[in-house]
Amino acid sequence: MLSMEPRYRLVISCPDRVGIVAMVSSFISSHGGSITEANQHSESATGWFFMRYEISARNLAFSVDELRESFASIAQSFKMSWHLSDSSKPKRVLLMASKQSHCLADLLYRYNSQELDCEIPCVISNHDDLRSMVEWHGIPYHHVPVDSADKQSAFDRVVELVEQNQIDTIVLARYMQILPPELCLRYASQVINIHHSFLPSFAGAKPYHQAHERGVKLIGATCHYVTEELDAGPIIDQDVIRITHNDSADDMVRLGRDAEKSVLARGLRWHLEDRILVHGNKTVVFS
Amino acid sequence: MLSMEPRYRLVISCPDRVGIVAMVSSFISSHGGSITEANQHSESATGWFFMRYEISARNLAFSVDELRESFASIAQSFKMSWHLSDSSKPKRVLLMASKQSHCLADLLYRYNSQELDCEIPCVISNHDDLRSMVEWHGIPYHHVPVDSADKQSAFDRVVELVEQNQIDTIVLARYMQILPPELCLRYASQVINIHHSFLPSFAGAKPYHQAHERGVKLIGATCHYVTEELDAGPIIDQDVIRITHNDSADDMVRLGRDAEKSVLARGLRWHLEDRILVHGNKTVVFS
Amino acid sequence: MLSMEPRYRLVISCPDRVGIVAMVSSFISSHGGSITEANQHSESATGWFFMRYEISARNLAFSVDELRESFASIAQSFKMSWHLSDSSKPKRVLLMASKQSHCLADLLYRYNSQELDCEIPCVISNHDDLRSMVEWHGIPYHHVPVDSADKQSAFDRVVELVEQNQIDTIVLARYMQILPPELCLRYASQVINIHHSFLPSFAGAKPYHQAHERGVKLIGATCHYVTEELDAGPIIDQDVIRITHNDSADDMVRLGRDAEKSVLARGLRWHLEDRILVHGNKTVVFS
Amino acid sequence: MLSMEPRYRLVISCPDRVGIVAMVSSFISSHGGSITEANQHSESATGWFFMRYEISARNLAFSVDELRESFASIAQSFKMSWHLSDSSKPKRVLLMASKQSHCLADLLYRYNSQELDCEIPCVISNHDDLRSMVEWHGIPYHHVPVDSADKQSAFDRVVELVEQNQIDTIVLARYMQILPPELCLRYASQVINIHHSFLPSFAGAKPYHQAHERGVKLIGATCHYVTEELDAGPIIDQDVIRITHNDSADDMVRLGRDAEKSVLARGLRWHLEDRILVHGNKTVVFS
């Protein structure tokens, strides 16, 4: 369900110390802001503090830009990493897929039924198979083939489309190509991938076949931010499905699709609502 | 794991309005208190606000009594229901059981391995079967038989033991007797029961047999506060276990024990840590 | 994945006695049939026996009709209820929906990606909203409005379409109308419904709102065969999703959709593969 | 629940071909044996066939030894690996533990409440800490310290106790020592270990700390047969528990204990009931 009225989301991480909450909450209430949802986390091992406030913009005396400006000095004094987003300006999401349609179809369905609070300006695929499905949803489809002899030109085209469409978030919905390192760096913590195993088990190619070979009794899916190292970025969410000796590798592929779909949709939803804070190679998820 | 240093837990519920968090957090930080864990919940449907702060007592200028006194006026101005507890004074818990031992044994094991932060001054049962197990843990065992012709005298004895032992919390660990209404009222939100079904399905007697009769594919357990109405009090936690046509009612009894144990232990843990706020017939659980 | 080669499925239930398996398996192997999957269940409480054989038709000397004929005398001597189906003749499934699209869209997706081994000759809805989605899949869409003053004529039209399209199985994919009793009887064990609660809790209207009101910590979905008594037919499958005090009734509606989709798809798949045997008001599911 | 009357369990694996079931079931029924539970599995990838029959011994004309003798020729003609066990002669199980008590306490509790159909002639530990708990259950406790400079003499003592007590099955209930290869070989498919991660992730030492370091959102436990290669033997069962950024490595240790206990108990139960067939490095589990 989309939120009824505009809200601001203030997301902060900084070294922990006495008085952060008092300072931030006083700042907001003193300007008439009402906190509709609050999450905090103090990590004793690292001495780090994380917080997310959802603030009703109704009675706030400020625009989002004014709020940003006046909060900046508080932020500086506490050495905060922070950002403030406006729920009335949903993130712009690029979906990238290959031939397999299950994750893409699931996200498009949720988008269409207003379950995901975002804009999807376009879809990119290295194959042309899913065009009709995407276009039925009224979304432009870009076929950007990846030539193994010249991957660079394909990814140049991807970057071009990302820039043209003012993309905030890239979702690899079973996009079977590995992004080049410079793209991973450029869009750090903005590219979400779904991997079809419970990482760190079975990273890389054909994880269901690896799982079948090993004889595990649970298969899984992992949603994570993409980093330069393959399948090793900060984990957002994971889930598993119980299997038996009766399930072939092909059965696992089929059963696993349901886990992939739900884990990716959940992770993306949290990302769109600014609920995920990356710290080092781990995430704080205020779900 | 028991907490290393004493902490205070401030638990509040009140009508929602702007400035509560700012006021409370400023109060605490102004006295040198460091908030180590914070949870909040605003219920838009009812306009009610709930919060729980865990406060490091190390640098606090106050004793718990002084803190209580100075907080009282803030509390009054916001019409708060609230309490402040001191983690260095663990709750005193009475376990009540009957003949079945699984929940009792599980709680005693967790108590013994310091997983539950409480004192267990004694155990009461209407049968004498579990005496040896309880006494092996060094805990006094009171056999209080319940004569169906004179239940009153049994429950008088229970109240006497509760008062003598300064009990804070009563756990019905598969105690098969129904508490009289005056006891439910007297110890409202202090008596935790485990019921062996996913309530509201199969309230009352022999829930696994009811479940078997109906042919459900999941059986469950529900941990709830006891109220005058049987199996209808505020639900703390629930869990389910998958079963098949292959499972007889006896198999369900066996399989369900594991759900009962874990749900009761989890609910009790949250209660001991003041994570459960009762509002009407529902709970807010800051787990 | 659709099966590669034609298979016969022999499904039997009868009073248990010594020698059933020997008789049936000898019959099959003596005619060159290879059993590729076998399931049996003896219910000691009722003295009833259930079995399902999947038989490779490759080396079988018989057509399915000849097999039926020659098996009939064995079946009679053991007082068997039985049927033999041919996997090369997939069941013909009618999907019925209302305005909500999630279950319908999910089933159409799975059908399209060949995950469900069936034919879907048409979709019926009492509203016209989902026409475009259905027709994009190349499936005829029949808008059969239900006038509350004259429901009979609507259901007459439904029966007409069922007969015209030689439907084997009807799926109520969140079809919000109650089928008249004569239809329930006429298509007994052939109509599958998805109810959005873990039955028997919260039968009837608005189960998520009932669940929210009661304050449960798990919500669920139940797939069952439709009988004359509302939401009381034999349960095929159930699943649950964990919720918290943070979830409004609307959140439950959203979260529950995922459980509804997967439970219905799983139940339908088992039905299509003749894995479900109804006995009294319960099911044996050879999953 | 222990079975009421003696049963035989016939467990078979062999190359798949037409007529196995007919031959075996005819053999049993022709001698008056009633099959109370039957499981079969055909593995198309390897062409292997697995089966387990539970046979009521009540009306059988044979003793278990006579049955074995007369079945031998059938077995040979089908090149079967097979064994026949008698449920009235429960397996003799050695529990081995170290300092941590949760798995040991859980198994002793289930043993005591007759949930596990076995004999436990003794417990071995490399520490003396758990003696009182074990002896309260009336079971002899052997303290066999493992001197890192002379592990051989400790394991010689273990073998001696295994032989003296006619042990069938060894359970490593968080026994922190690595068994020497000759012991793994000698008792192949008879030694069950519980590892505190969802293997193959986090094999080896301190898996919860590895999991915390990696930032996974699920932790798990794996029950497997011990082979020479550490934590790499055939997997019997696995389960996971959801965790959050809020859980420290110590919290994971505490939460994971519940998964370890239930996974080990379930795996042991299946082993005791001859439900697990090892094939290569994988298991078929007829649960």
Q: Which of B18, B28, B40 sits opposite A29 (nearest CB)?
A: B18
Residue A32 CB neighbour total at 10 angstroms: 15
Whether the pLDDT of residue A3 is over 80: the answer is: no
Rounded to whole angstroms, the Cα distance separating A121 from A139 reads 7
Name the closest residue on chain A to residue C114, using Cα atoms. A254
Q: Give the DSSP per-residue string, A7-72.
A: EEEEEEEEE--TTHHHHHHHHHHHTT-EEEEEEEEEETTTTEEEEEEEEE-TT-SS-HHHHHHHHH
Residue-wise pLDDT tens digits, C25-63: 999 999 888 898 999 999 988 999 999 999 988 888 788
Report CA A226 to chain centroid distance, whole Å: 10
The predicted pLDDT at position B2 comes to: 44
Asked if A285 is an interface residue toward chain D (Cβ–Cβ < 8 A), one would say: yes
User: Are the beta carbons of B32 and A38 separated by less than 8 Å?
Assistant: no
The predicted pLDDT at position C144 comes to: 98
- Look up residue A235 and give its two tokens: 């984990």
Mean pLDDT for A51-57 is 92
Collapse the DSSP code of B110 into the 3-class scheme (helix H, G, I; strand E, B; otherwise coil) and give the result. helix
Asked if C37 is an interface residue toward chain D (Cβ–Cβ < 8 A), one would say: yes
Q: Which residues of A touch B33 (CB under 8 A)?
A: 18
Q: Which of D218, D284, D285 sits opposite A240 (nearest CB)?
A: D218
For residue C264, which amino acid is it?
Answer: L
Asked if B209 is an interface residue toward chain C (Cβ–Cβ < 8 A), one would say: no
User: Are the beta carbons of D25 and C21 separated by less than 8 Å?
Assistant: yes
Rounded to whole angstroms, the Cα distance separating C251 from A16 reads 33
Asked if B156 is an interface residue toward chain D (Cβ–Cβ < 8 A), one would say: no
Rounded to whole angstroms, the Cα distance separating C112 from A48 reads 49
C and D: number of Cβ contacts within 8 A: 51
With contact defined as 3+ CB pairs under 8 Å, the chains touching D are A, B, C
Q: What is the DSSP letter of C81?
A: E
User: Are the beta carbons of C105 and A101 separated by less than 8 Å?
Assistant: no
Rounded to whole angstroms, the Cα distance separating D154 from D144 reads 6
- The dihedral built from the CA positions of residue C130, C132, C137 and C142, taken in this order, carries a sign that is positive
Q: What is the DSSP letter of D140?
A: -
Is pTM beyond 0.90? Reply is yes
- Residue of D216, B253, C177 whose CA lies nearest to A235: D216
The predicted pLDDT at position B4 comes to: 60
Q: Which residues of D touch C38 (CB under 8 A)?
A: 21, 38, 40
Asked if A77 is an interface residue toward chain D (Cβ–Cβ < 8 A), one would say: no
The predicted pLDDT at position C4 comes to: 61
User: Are the beta carbons of C246 and B41 separated by less than 8 Å?
Assistant: yes
The predicted pLDDT at position D3 comes to: 47
Structural domain boundaries in chain A:
7-86, 91-285
Asked if C102 is an interface residue toward chain A (Cβ–Cβ < 8 A), one would say: yes
State the average pLDDT for chain A.
95
Instruction: Give the bridge partners for C170, in sequence order.
Output: C94, C191
User: Are the beta carbons of B38 and A34 separated by less than 8 Å?
Assistant: no
Residue-wise pLDDT tens digits, A188-231: 999 999 999 999 999 999 999 999 999 999 999 999 999 999 99
Q: Which residues of D touch A236 (CB under 8 A)?
A: 217
The predicted pLDDT at position A6 comes to: 82
Q: Which residues of chain D have pLDDT under 70?
A: 1-4
Mean pLDDT for C254-258 is 97
| CATH no. for A7-86 | 3.30.70.260
Instruction: Select from A113, A270, A286 the residue whose CB has the most chain C CBs within 10 Å, as the one to mutate to test that interface.
Output: A113
Mean pLDDT for A113-140 is 97
What CA–CA distances, in Å, run from B60 to A32, B12, B66, B199? 30, 20, 11, 43
Mean pLDDT for B242-246 is 97
Q: Which of D113, D115, D254 sits opposite B115 (nearest CB)?
A: D254
A and C: number of Cβ contacts within 8 A: 20
User: Are the beta carbons of A59 and B18 separated by less than 8 Å?
Assistant: yes
Rounded to whole angstroms, the Cα distance separating C255 from C233 reads 25
User: Are the beta carbons of C1 and A109 separated by less than 8 Å?
Assistant: no
Fold observed for domain B91-285: Rossmann fold (3.40.50)
With contact defined as 3+ CB pairs under 8 Å, the chains touching C are A, B, D
Q: Which residues of A touch C251 (CB under 8 A)?
A: 1
Query: What ipTM was assigned to the predicted interfaces of this complex?
Result: 0.95
Active site annotation includes D231 = yes
Residue-wise pLDDT tens digits, B257-269: 999 999 999 999 9
The predicted pLDDT at position D4 comes to: 60
Asked if B250 is an interface residue toward chain D (Cβ–Cβ < 8 A), one would say: yes
Asked if A136 is an interface residue toward chain C (Cβ–Cβ < 8 A), one would say: yes
Percent of chain A with pLDDT over 70: 99
| Catalytic residue from among C231, C237, C247, C274 | C231
CA atoms within 13 A on the CB side of C70: 12
Asked if C235 is an interface residue toward chain B (Cβ–Cβ < 8 A), one would say: yes
